[in-house]
Chains A and B, each alone.
Chain A
């Protein structure tokens, strides 16, 4: 069984004459441990597909299964639980909570699940070490560079040991050096922790880090 099974998914924005179909009968399977890059021109629907897989957007036709569960038929509450337990998100603009420190941003998902800081200390130290943020743990997001903020976002996504990471143009806002650092980090996480990664990117270089590249054009997989 694949970790992600997308079957005949279509997505339309707007209604009536203004309707625009951005995904048209898309099917895609991703196995556990894969590192898949989604590429395509702007407006080709790659980010939309990513958010549909992540359950952040539920307005679609077709079916999407994550970890064997059809998320299109799940109740909001169950979907939230599944998402929090299995999926980590990384966005182009980091989306850190600005008034929390690096450490608190990273711990946020687990603390809200009711785990204590003491329980999380070992995991936190490990992920800070992996992401190279050990000396920035008390810093606030606005004191960090873009690369450091993105590494914080990655640490936040990884600390809960998700099965899947969905990354939407994670290097899109970074210079080439920081971008390379992030991609190497993805690679390490994918290999060492066997976390499946599905990334959206415009960059062939970034896509080359993945095990497979899927290209979208006009709402369909090429």
Chain B
């Protein structure tokens, strides 16, 4: 285990000096040094020690024999349980479908069996095809955008055709207990993501091909279909270029939305009006006075394009969406759709559709009835309250919070609701039976309409806080910002939960899951929500918020030191919320088990077991950018590195050896094996670099000669220096005040600074020459255009002014772009210097930078004088006369 990794920092020099001065280090070496291990050597898995790599210690042997299935990116404990759950769900559907029982009309069993029977018996795709063709005729007959919007809403409600707007009725994050109207960001049309087509010409070609195929399936000729598809792709690209893709990736659900009032929305919908949006929400009046909008720019662009001029392109998109939504029925009916069939066995496809789309909630209730027993319910409820009690104790003892802050967090903890699997069990509703029609397609349509109408009915209604956040057959649990924790029945399978297992084992599995979700209530995102679950960042006082932010920062820095595949670092900021929840859970459970070493050991072991996973290398790297969770290995090892109880259990004691990576996030990491000389009490939040003590010899090997310098910063540095010289002169080679140190660095680095200044001056000179050359070359290419302008509309004087303005804008834009580049290069430069152990004071003054920017802007603007001079000499007649 890399326990000491967290304590290595830039302050280590001070730490050593402090240690030396305090006499904490003996003259003997306290460590053994070993070269970094050879890469790619065959590992002896049985030799992995718990204190070096607990995750590997528990899982290595098991993982060595397992690879992700062909085409899969990863395999892990979760996937194993998921496979089991899928079998159970499919078995449940098959059992209901084959049962002779006379189910009550409207009961989940009745609905599932009815749809299953209809789907399996259905073989008249041609009828659906002909219905879709009629709908396409209606679309093609539309004569205005307003008419198309009305038809689109109808097809969205009944046939599932995606719309340009993404209307959603969802809980209001800002007002507990009520719904809100949300217009989410549109991710793309016709199965192509805007982000993909804006990045890749190949994806544009694929989109065009897809739309062409959809149109051809409705009887459109190939040439016409291609032409229409190209127009639709162009329209999609216009929207893609106006889309703020970062808004779609914000992990904080509150930050992504802006409230747009009715009046503002009228401003956005200048081409249509808000009645179009209301139409999609089925509203006449908006009871909330506005909408939460995720990407206003995208909405404005859609409005801009919603004109009769683009009517044909919108029709093309609607037809493609309509065919896409019903492709299950159509793929066998048109040649151009043959490649889009799922290719799945019919029974499998029907079960998947029932579980994932048609009766997700109903099946969730049935699954709970089957697999969630009263004994489990009792045990889980006890576990939840046990975890709440532990959190209560931890928060009560959190001396880093103010008393007011502790009271606020405790109130939030008390308000936290657990939504257990039985919440999904609902009584039979006879009215639900009405969705079962005469044929499978009609039933599908009725279910879609029912689902839409149910959603619309929520407008103005009270939000049901006990509503589960996910289905019981999902192997997961979740925290909803409204301060509820949903725990599914599927996550109660072993190894997560087993009624016969030990307390520690269950706490290491399901306990950790629940503790983790509870931890989200206090993570970097949800800490902005008050005890009611409303987004209200000011609900904690400044002091608490600052203390919390500092701890979060320390934690982010700590997790960023961990890597996958040796060199790819975890993104501590991105994974912050999940890491916070993991740490909260670990502290909570350790607090419960701290007096029972046996159960604590089982907790650690099962924690490692449930996080076991193997990932394809490419996905392991990709996931660092896309997954908000740290990799499984980090979720175990980083956590336990902070846990003193872990070291007690696994007997890391004085005299043991541990491996430490120095400069793990630097350019030249160095792995050393150190011997533990003394145990210290630290945690990740208080790590400040003051706990690692090593010999002068080894420190010099890693950090060169710096450790023996003492830098003094206090009210009377000269007096302090004298005291140290008098008492410890033989232990240090240099004692300097801040001013002395700066002067020395200045002298040492002056020659380097001359070189840097010369490079900057040279770069500016070369840039200026480049800009002037560019202006003149550009002018040569524009001579004819200038002559045309002068003969038709502009005087030479006006044209010259235009050149100057153009140059001023270009120079301004270049400088604006240079500022973030400068900040970036500055960081790279400083990092490189740090990596090379070179100390050069680099000071960037704001005022100096501003003056330099203005001067450079003026100089580069004046470079326009060169083409202006050339313009004066230009013979207009010659330019116009000849081609």
Q: Could you tell me if A112 and B798 are in contact, using CB atoms closer than 8 angstroms?
A: yes
B881 near A: Cβ within 8 Å? yes
A209 near B: Cβ within 8 Å? no
Q: Could you tell me if B881 and A91 are in contact, using CB atoms closer than 8 angstroms?
A: yes
Nearest CB in chain B to that of A78: its residue: B795
Nearest CB in chain A to that of B879: its residue: A95
* The stretch of B508-516, B641-649, B781-789 that contacts the partner chain: B781-789
**Residues of A with C-beta under 8 A to B796:** 76, 80
Measured between alpha carbons, how far is A57 from B781 in the docked complex, in Å? 21
Contact of A108 among B792, B875, B883 (CB under 8 A): B792
Q: Could you tell me if A56 and B883 are in contact, using CB atoms closer than 8 angstroms?
A: no
A residues 103-131 touching B (CB-CB < 8 Å): 108-113
B794 near A: Cβ within 8 Å? yes
A183 near B: Cβ within 8 Å? no
Measured between alpha carbons, how far is A56 from B876 in the docked complex, in Å? 6
Q: Could you tell me if A156 and B877 are in contact, using CB atoms closer than 8 angstroms?
A: no
B836 near A: Cβ within 8 Å? no
Q: Could you tell me if B881 and A84 are in contact, using CB atoms closer than 8 angstroms?
A: no
A-contact bits for B609-640, CB 8 A (1 contact / 0 none): 00000000000000000000000000000000
- Smallest CB separation, B794 vs chain A (Å): 6
Measured between alpha carbons, how far is A95 from B878 in the docked complex, in Å? 12
- Smallest CB separation, A106 vs chain B (Å): 10
B residues 831-883 touching A (CB-CB < 8 Å): 875-877, 880-883
**Residues of B with C-beta under 8 A to A48:** 877
Q: Could you tell me if B877 and A77 are in contact, using CB atoms closer than 8 angstroms?
A: no
Q: Could you tell me if A168 and B881 are in contact, using CB atoms closer than 8 angstroms?
A: yes
- Smallest CB separation, B877 vs chain A (Å): 4
A210 near B: Cβ within 8 Å? no
**Residues of A with C-beta under 8 A to B788:** 95-97
Interface residue total, chain B, C-beta cutoff 8 A = 21
**Residues of B with C-beta under 8 A to A150:** none
Are A156 and B795 CB-contacts (below 8 A) given A56-B877, A89-B880? no
Nearest CB in chain B to that of A81: its residue: B795
Nearest CB in chain A to that of B875: its residue: A57
Measured between alpha carbons, how far is A108 from B790 in the docked complex, in Å? 11
A-contact bits for B784-822, CB 8 A (1 contact / 0 none): 110111111111111000000000000000000000000
Interface residue total, chain A, C-beta cutoff 8 A = 29
Q: Could you tell me if A89 and B883 are in contact, using CB atoms closer than 8 angstroms?
A: no
- Smallest CB separation, B807 vs chain A (Å): 19
Nearest CB in chain A to that of B788: its residue: A95
A residues 137-165 touching B (CB-CB < 8 Å): 156-157
Q: Could you tell me if A112 and B876 are in contact, using CB atoms closer than 8 angstroms?
A: no
Are A56 and B795 CB-contacts (below 8 A) given A91-B880, A168-B881? no
A47 near B: Cβ within 8 Å? yes
Q: Could you tell me if A54 and B798 are in contact, using CB atoms closer than 8 angstroms?
A: no
**Residues of A with C-beta under 8 A to B882:** 93
Q: Could you tell me if B880 and A76 are in contact, using CB atoms closer than 8 angstroms?
A: no
- Smallest CB separation, B79 vs chain A (Å): 55
- The residue in B788, B791, B795, B877 that gathers the most chain A C-beta atoms within 10 A of its C-beta is B791
Measured between alpha carbons, how far is A81 from B798 in the docked complex, in Å? 11
Q: Could you tell me if A57 and B880 are in contact, using CB atoms closer than 8 angstroms?
A: no
Measured between alpha carbons, how far is A88 from B877 in the docked complex, in Å? 14
**Residues of A with C-beta under 8 A to B785:** 97
- Smallest CB separation, A52 vs chain B (Å): 9
Q: Could you tell me if B876 and A108 are in contact, using CB atoms closer than 8 angstroms?
A: no
**Residues of B with C-beta under 8 A to A92:** 881, 883
**Residues of A with C-beta under 8 A to B795:** 76-77, 80-81, 84
- Smallest CB separation, A182 vs chain B (Å): 18
B residues 539-587 touching A (CB-CB < 8 Å): none
A residues 40-72 touching B (CB-CB < 8 Å): 47-48, 51, 54, 56-57
Measured between alpha carbons, how far is A92 from B882 in the docked complex, in Å? 8
- Smallest CB separation, B782 vs chain A (Å): 10
**Residues of A with C-beta under 8 A to B791:** 54, 56, 83, 89, 95
Contact of B797 among A56, A80, A96, A108 (CB under 8 A): A80
**Residues of B with C-beta under 8 A to A56:** 790-791, 876-877, 880
Contact of A57 among B789, B798, B876, B883 (CB under 8 A): B876
A-contact bits for B208-227, CB 8 A (1 contact / 0 none): 00000000000000000000
Contact of B792 among A81, A89, A168 (CB under 8 A): A89
Q: Could you tell me if A112 and B794 are in contact, using CB atoms closer than 8 angstroms?
A: yes
**Residues of A with C-beta under 8 A to B876:** 51, 56-57
Nearest CB in chain B to that of A76: its residue: B796
Measured between alpha carbons, how far is A108 from B799 in the docked complex, in Å? 14
B-contact bits for A165-198, CB 8 A (1 contact / 0 none): 0001000000000000000000000000000000
Given contacts A76-B795, A95-B788, A168-B880, 13 further A-B contacts (CB under 8 A): A54-B791, A56-B876, A56-B877, A56-B880, A80-B794, A80-B796, A84-B795, A92-B881, A93-B883, A95-B784, A95-B880, A97-B785, A108-B789
List the 10 closest pairs (A to B, CB-CB), nearest first. Answer: A80-B795, A109-B793, A51-B877, A112-B793, A93-B883, A56-B876, A95-B788, A57-B877, A89-B791, A109-B792
12 intermolecular pairs with C-beta atoms under 8 Å apart: A77-B795, A83-B791, A84-B795, A89-B792, A89-B880, A91-B880, A93-B883, A95-B788, A96-B788, A112-B794, A113-B793, A168-B881
Residues of A within 8 A of B (CB): 47-48, 51, 54, 56-57, 76-77, 80-81, 83-84, 88-89, 91-93, 95-97, 108-113, 156-157, 168
Residues of B within 8 A of A (CB): 784-785, 787-798, 875-877, 880-883
